[in-house]
A = this chain, B = another copy of it.
Amino acid sequence: MPLDFKHTKLPNGLNILAEVNDDAHTAAVGFFVRTGARDEAPAVMGVSHFLEHMMFKGTDRRSADDVNREFDEIGANYNAFTSHEQTVYYAHVLPEMLPNAVDLFADMLRPSLRQDDFDMEKKVILEEIGMYDDRPEWRLHDRLLEEHFGNHGLGYRVLGTAQTVGDLTSTQMRDYFTQRYSPDNLVVAAAGRLDFDALCADVEARCGHWSPTDATRSYATPPTTDKRIAIDDDKVTRQYIAMLCEGPSAQDELRYPAKVLADVLGDSDGSRLYWALVDKGLSDDADFSMLPHDRCGQFMAFASCDPKRAEQVEATLLQTLDAIVGPGFDISDDEVTRAKNKLATKATLQGERPAGRMQALGSHWSYQGRYLPLNEELDRLMAVTVDDVRSVVERYTLSPRTIATLGPGK
């Protein structure tokens, strides 16, 4: 597979990147905006996600129907998502349709934000928030973040609350938009069969006149203390247990061994938690994962079970983690090798498609400001040793931790 990395930066600060693969059957493009719930003022919590919805509601050149119809006409598989740190708009298309997708996104990202559409879309968001009521894991996840992060933006709800979304005005949204959707806070990433010069010409023609705003982000350190919260709710029939503690950031050199550690402890295909909880019939689900963020990071553990086993499952979960901290560290060469093999196959599988490479490219640039070829990623992963994994445990100690539980109570 002949891969060719290309990069250019427009005078207004907009980065355009592509990994060109002439053998690919499709092309993928994403507009990665470095903004999310973390970057919101508390009073406008949810504005990033709401704004993502509004981007599909039309521009000076296009109605909402036009946007949707044109994506469908070119057969695009397109979508968008908002997290605490990113808002990403992306499409997978047949190669000849790439310029149309770029034209659509570039236009969409300068939306009309019409008051009627704003009022209507608010109802859509409130419906989406309502849907959370019947999803115990999501509710617990939100509460865990709130408890753990306190006033730090990583504790905000991506969807906002019925209160903050209900109170939001279109003026507040427009202000946020103007500040955050600036070319210097945005990366365009593409992959697959494509003409990079033509892509750059298209992006420059449409986005070259956008004004930079020097958009920044607060890097306050999140609090870390031991905390425990138990929520009783008789509408819930299962017991849910979640834990959050400090881990490596997206920039931390320890993130490769940390990924291996997370796989050894919590991969759903077989891991220490899997064997201790799921395989024994104690939990229906148990996992441990790494949540790397911009200049800070976390580890998260989760399990759900029959409420009558709540104490046993929580104790087993925590013992499994505590067992490797300090002199008890016993992660073996074999475990590390197996985890690396699994992760290498996953990365290779993701890298087989332009869709996967585009996401890796855009996300990596947003966090690291550089290109990471798949081969380098694999090399760094395969170089991880047991000592590296031990260093992660020594550095982070999986504590202090916030534990949150949700269940029917006694």
A77 touches B123 (CB 8 A): no
CB-nearest residue of chain B to A192 = B352
A131 touches B77 (CB 8 A): no
Question: Does A167 interact with chain B (Cβ within 8 Å)?
Answer: no
CB-nearest residue of chain B to A23 = B23
A78 touches B238 (CB 8 A): no
B349 touches A352 (CB 8 A): no
Given contacts A283-B127, A304-B131, contact A77 B349 (CB under 8 A): yes
Q: How far is the CA of A76 from the CA of B74 in the complex (A)?
A: 36
Q: How far is the CA of A112 from the CA of B128 in the complex (A)?
A: 47
Fill in one digit per residue for A103-145: 1 if any B CB lies within 8 Å of its CB, else 0: 0000000000000000011111011101101101000000000
Which of B74, B131, B341 contacts A284, CB < 8 Å? B131
- The A195-240 residues at the B interface (CB cut-off 8 A) are 234-238
Question: Does A270 interact with chain B (Cβ within 8 Å)?
Answer: yes
Q: How large is the interface on A (under 10, 10 to 19, 20 to 34, 35 or more residues)?
A: 35 or more
Which residues from chain B contact A284 at a C-beta distance below 8 Å? 127-128, 130-131
Q: How far is the CA of A346 from the CA of B94 in the complex (A)?
A: 10
Fill in one digit per residue for A271-284: 1 if any B CB lies within 8 Å of its CB, else 0: 00000001111111
- The A332-388 residues at the B interface (CB cut-off 8 A) are 334, 337-346, 348-349, 351-355
Which residues from chain B contact A128 at a C-beta distance below 8 Å? 284
Question: Does A175 interact with chain B (Cβ within 8 Å)?
Answer: no
Report copies per complex.
2
Measured CB to CB, the closest approach of chain B to A328, in angstroms, equals: 21
A280 touches B120 (CB 8 A): yes
Which residues from chain B contact A25 at a C-beta distance below 8 Å? 1, 348, 351-352
Given contacts A74-B341, A134-B237, A235-B237, contact A1 B23 (CB under 8 A): yes
B270 touches A121 (CB 8 A): no
B342 touches A353 (CB 8 A): no
Measured CB to CB, the closest approach of chain B to A121, in angstroms, equals: 7
B1 touches A281 (CB 8 A): no
Measured CB to CB, the closest approach of chain B to A81, in angstroms, equals: 13
Measured CB to CB, the closest approach of chain B to A373, in angstroms, equals: 14
Which residues from chain B contact A345 at a C-beta distance below 8 Å? 26, 75-77, 92-94
Which residues from chain B contact A26 at a C-beta distance below 8 Å? 345, 348-349, 352
Question: Does A319 interact with chain B (Cβ within 8 Å)?
Answer: no
Measured CB to CB, the closest approach of chain B to A190, in angstroms, equals: 15
Question: Does A305 interact with chain B (Cβ within 8 Å)?
Answer: yes
Known: A76-B345, A79-B269. 6 other contacts (CB 8 A): A72-B269, A75-B340, A78-B269, A94-B344, A123-B281, A352-B354
Q: What would 28 A/B residue contacts be, using CB atoms closer than 8 Å?
A: A1-B23, A1-B25, A24-B352, A26-B345, A69-B338, A72-B270, A75-B342, A77-B345, A77-B346, A77-B349, A78-B269, A92-B345, A94-B345, A121-B281, A123-B280, A124-B280, A126-B281, A127-B281, A128-B284, A130-B237, A130-B238, A131-B238, A131-B285, A134-B136, A134-B236, A234-B235, A349-B355, A352-B353
